[in-house]
Amino acid sequence: MSFNDDLDPDQLVELEQIFRAEGLEHVKRLAEILFEIEEKGADEELLIEAFRQAHNLKGSAALLGFERVARLTHRIEDVIGVIKRGDQTLTPATMDLLLGGLDVIREGVNLSKPGDDTLTIEEQATLTTLEQWLAACDTSPTPRPPTEPRSQVDKVVVQAPETSPPRTMPEPSRSAPEGQDAFIRVAVDALNSLTAQVDDLFEAQVQAETMGQELSRLRHGLDQLLTGVQTLRSESTSSVADDTEDLANLMNVRLEAATEHFHRDMQGLSRRIRKAQEEVGRMGLATLDSLHVKLRRQVREVSRTTNKPVELRFQGGEYAVDRRVLDALTEPLVHLIRNAVDHGIESEDQRQAAGKPPTGLVEVRARHLGDSVELSIRDDGRGIDLVAVRQTLVEAGRPPKEVDELTDDQLTDRLFDSGFSTQRQVSEVSGRGVGLDVVKHTMDRVGGEVRLETSAGQGTTISLRLPLSMSTVRCLLVSLGNRPLAIPAANVQKVLILQPADLLDLGHGEVVEFGGGHVPVTPLQDLIGMASPTWAPQSTRTAVVLQFGDRRWALTVDDVLEYTQIIVKPLGDLLERVPAVSGIALLGDGDLALVLNPGDLVRAAGSRAQAVGAGSTTPDTSSGLAERVILVVDDSIATRSLERSLLESAGYKVLTATDGFDALDVLGRSRCDLVITDAQMPHMNGFELTRTLKSHATLAHLPVIMITSLGSPEDIEQGMASGADAYVVKKNLTQHELVSTINQLL
């Protein structure tokens, strides 16, 4: 029995949060120790430390009533105890057993509740396996290591971070008062809430500063009024003029004092908010070496599965970024690591034939770059087959001549398209077409960048540029069509004032000489579809030179406003994949500015230039599906408009209908490749429409996606029974998921 019954609910919640944070640290440290033992052998001190970590986790879990965690950790502790006594050795099979057990315990720490002693199916299976291992040890008079077939997988090598010392639990400061720790645990949700509130304060400060500017303008206007009154007084003997001048003078003095007082207070408030942002930002930082255990586990697992010896090197783990960035990046990074080993690294025979060392190399390296950290994942494998990429694009419907003219950079850009893959079969290890689009989507969401470089026979490098913070971002504000737009300053190389004589036409569009080379010039309005005045041939233009990797592009805008700090807010689930837009920001004057994605802009500019060079004036949609026609059926104007915007931004042609009867009428007059329909509509609903289409002689082949707010199992069953090819609940819908589903069906 635990002491939970003696605690009030608030105390219990606080202790649960503390246990979860501490429990995950125990699991992480225990995994690190096991990897060290596997590499170095059964070191007595390491085994004692591993036993202590398991024992402490078991004790904490039992004390707080986390019975499922306590039972599993007890068996992990017993296994380590057997190895510590020398009765067994840590074989690869036993290592797999322990690491698998830690994965299950980690889930239990996150998800189980105090007092819950009912094991899940996975937990029961893990517990049974551990107990069988222990029973086998007990029944043997002289325990011996289980025999295993030796294979190449035993050659897996994993290097610890070169620059990061072994991790230990934080100790209280020696200078801290007696009985008072220098460290406390804070729940992540509480920290995120605090960060959001400080960000709100910053936005309020920016708006208040705008009000201060308005006060200064009012004071200037009052000065002009006072000058007019004094002129009037000199020309009149009326006492009214004297009284008006006195009143104006009094108002001027009071407004001047109020303005000075306001600015003085704002300066102090700004300093305090800035300091609070810095302190809260530091609290939310996490070092990259927290990824190390998870990544080395992935390399170990995939190398054993594929029978490829692979070495993982991890450098720069001491660098820290916003924990929210790290949390969002973890799963996409796992995709990259698994893809690198599965698809990138060759088999041992192939490597020897190519004159390479038999052990493949995957290197994860971090370095500091200004206000960001670059994390690169490099493998020394076969590289990406760009010929296969071209062939896949042709098979997807792109004109062969157009594909042949694509540069290597433009080809590798296509690898980030949703669902794109040159793999013909789904791999159980890393999937097919999964990874790069997920990584790009994640980097867009956190305000980062992703680039890919590959060399045939030499390997592939994927570079992720991670922002240090997801809160404030320094941006260059520009205007286009009287609307403000924000471009991250980290990608802005220079602002140019272009005269007509500065522009050269080399046959594939205009360029300008800059930085010792020619930089292409493209109107920003052509890339984001925003109207702007047409430039006269002899007019001066303003251009912003963007840098993305080794690519540079000059984008012309109406005007450059200022550099400023902004807080980037997400667009929301349905709009999160709008091309070239990564978020939105509230400016000091209350206006909203779209925050542009520099990588998307440079890619889109390159695609457009290639299309123009091929004689086309239509911008490249990057997917090869620009001629696909989709019919959206929904009785809600707002929903139709939103879905139409999402699909058109992804490169599809969109037709609309208000109900099932209207849809059949449209289909009778127009060609269509896929239908997206709501379920609940007047006259003919989505279920009836789908059944009608699937029984029609010439329309039965059309894929149908049903998007609706009806999410009960009965509704989903009804939708699929009517013949729908996919059923998506609106609350779970994102543009990424919608486009991925469409690509799968087409």
> Which among 433, 467, 501 is the end of a domain?
467
Domain match, 38 and 109 both: yes
Per DSSP bridges, beta strands 674-677 and 704-708 are parallel
Q: b/e map of 157-174 (b: 16 or more CB within 10 Å)?
A: bbebbeebeebeeeeeee
Its domain, for residue 227, covers 189-283
- pLDDT higher than 70, residue 300: yes
Domain match, 342 and 214 both: no
CATH of the domain at 407: 3.30.565.10
Higher pLDDT, residue 573 or 508: 508
- pLDDT higher than 60, residue 201: yes
With the C-alpha atoms ordered 388, 394, 400, 404, is the resulting torsion angle positive or negative? negative
Domain match, 306 and 426 both: yes
pTM for this prediction:
0.57
Domain match, 455 and 476 both: no
Structure-token match 């620059």, residue found: 163
Position 373 in a domain? yes
Among 44-53, 247-256, 571-580, whose mean pLDDT is lowest? 571-580
Percent of the chain with pLDDT over 90: 13
Domain match, 428 and 566 both: no
Domain match, 323 and 204 both: no
Among 604-608, 653-657, 673-677, 708-712, whose mean pLDDT is lowest? 708-712
Number of neighbours of residue 382 by Cβ within 10 angstroms: 21
Higher pLDDT, residue 434 or 262: 262
- With helix as H, strand as E and coil as C, how does 222-264 read? HHHHHHHHHHHHHCCCCHHHHHHHHHHHHHHHHHHHHHHHHHH
Alpha-carbon distance values, 195 to 63, 278, 472, 610 (Å): 32, 10, 11, 44
Question: What average pLDDT score do residues 628-653 get?
Answer: 78
pLDDT for 616:
35
Confidence of residue 621 (pLDDT cuts 50, 70, 90): very low
pLDDT for 434:
47
Domain match, 607 and 498 both: yes
346-378 per-position pLDDT tens digit: 999 999 999 999 999 999 998 887 678 889 999
User: Would you say 398 and 484 are in contact if contact means Cβ atoms under 8 Å apart?
Assistant: no
Beta bridge partners of 238: none
pLDDT for 650:
72
- pLDDT higher than 80, residue 206: no
> Which among 565, 585, 613 is the end of a domain?
613
Domain match, 270 and 340 both: no
Position 178 in a domain? no
Structure-token match 């879990």, residue found: 61
Alpha-carbon distance values, 453 to 194, 411, 431, 464, 552 (Å): 39, 11, 21, 12, 16
State which of 1-10, 324-333, 533-542, 602-611 shows the largest mean pLDDT: 324-333
CA triple 539-619-538, angle to 5 deg: 10
Question: What average pLDDT score do residues 33-41 get?
Answer: 83
What's the rounded Cα separation, in Å, for the pair 28 and 21? 11
Domain match, 449 and 492 both: no
Position 451 in a domain? yes
pLDDT for 305:
87
User: Would you say 662 and 692 are in contact if contact means Cβ atoms under 8 Å apart?
Assistant: no
State which of 222-236, 381-395, 459-473, 636-650 shows the largest mean pLDDT: 381-395
233-257 per-position pLDDT tens digit: 666 666 655 666 666 677 777 777 7
Which residues, at least 6 apart from 393, have a Cβ–Cβ distance to it below 8 Å?
403, 406, 411, 414, 624
Position 171 in a domain? no
CATH of the domain at 707: 3.40.50.2300
Position 549 in a domain? yes
pLDDT for 477:
92
Cα Rg of the chain (Å, integer): 32
What's the rounded Cα separation, in Å, for the pair 380 and 612? 36
Confidence of residue 191 (pLDDT cuts 50, 70, 90): low
Alpha-carbon distance values, 437 to 11, 96, 403, 443, 600 (Å): 43, 31, 20, 10, 13
Confidence of residue 138 (pLDDT cuts 50, 70, 90): low
pLDDT for 627:
64
One-letter amino acid of 259? T
How many domains does the structure of the chain reveal?
5
Q: Dmax over Cα atoms in the chain, in whole Å?
A: 122
Backbone torsion region of residue 447, taken as left when φ is above 0, otherwise alpha when ψ lies between -120 and 50, otherwise beta: left
483-505 per-position pLDDT tens digit: 889 998 888 989 999 888 888 87
- pLDDT higher than 80, residue 189: no
Position 609 in a domain? yes
pLDDT for 130:
92
* DSSP for 205-220, written as a single string: HHHHHHHHHHHHHHHH
Number of neighbours of residue 419 by Cβ within 10 angstroms: 17
Q: Which two tokens stand for residue 63?
A: 């004390």
pLDDT for 350:
93
> Which among 467, 502, 520 is the end of a domain?
467
Structure-token match 């404030």, residue found: 472
- pLDDT higher than 80, residue 325: yes
Position 378 in a domain? yes
CA triple 125-428-573, angle to 5 deg: 90
What's the rounded Cα separation, in Å, for the pair 700 and 691? 9
Domain match, 296 and 277 both: no
Position 169 in a domain? no
What's the rounded Cα separation, in Å, for the pair 222 and 256? 10
Domain match, 324 and 353 both: yes
pLDDT for 178:
40
What's the rounded Cα separation, in Å, for the pair 686 and 660? 7
Confidence of residue 478 (pLDDT cuts 50, 70, 90): very high
Domain match, 276 and 298 both: no
Per DSSP bridges, beta strands 310-315 and 157-158 are parallel
Per the prediction, the chain carries an average pLDDT of 77
CATH of the domain at 30: 1.20.120.160
